[in-house]
Amino acid sequence: MKKIFLSIILLMLCLSSAYAQNKPPKYLCQKWRVDTLAMRQTLLKMLAEETADDKSKAEMMLIFLNGMVQELGKVSMQFYQDGRAILHSPQEIKRGVWKYDPNTKLLTIQNAEEESPVRFFVQELKAKRMILREEKVESESKSSLKSLTLIAEK
């Protein structure tokens, strides 16, 4: 009887440990939006590098970037505890699933309408801020966006 009781306790401990390892990080399951201030600073730095010799091109690109940042500020991403993900934008709502590997800090998002998932390394995850970096950077040019800062929506 003692062996059966100990076996049951051991099994429960193993199952709870497995659940804890696969449980998503505490702060990930909430609604996030692009940190437009951080995005604007990053894009301005990239713009300065790309248009250092052409002032008229820089002015035109600045107008475009300001509009782009304003639109990105209207986009949010909701991660649910059960693995669902929803992207909200003024034009559409996209549904998908997500998973997080705590060992590699890899966040994978699979949109229901697309074949290939998007993968990000989670550089930082706090209650109010998350910084993501693309898994693969196609080109290491000056103009590639290296990270994306998200803030928790209130």
CB atoms inside a 10 Å sphere around CB 40? 17
Please give the helix or strand (H or E) that residue 3 lies within, else none: helix 2-22
pLDDT digits (tens, 9 = 90+) for 3-56: 444 445 444 444 444 444 456 677 899 999 988 888 888 888 877 777 777 777
pLDDT digits (tens, 9 = 90+) for 61-87: 788 878 888 888 888 899 999 999 998
Q: Which two tokens stand for residue 53?
A: 């010799």
Q: Which two tokens stand for residue 132?
A: 């993501």
pTM (2 decimals)?
0.71
Which CATH number applies to 28-152? 2.40.128.270
Rounded-to-integer distance, Cα 25 and Cα 50, Å: 38
| Distance set, CA 76 to CA 30, 66, 79, 124 (Å) | 10, 18, 10, 18
Q: Which two tokens stand for residue 57?
A: 């091109």
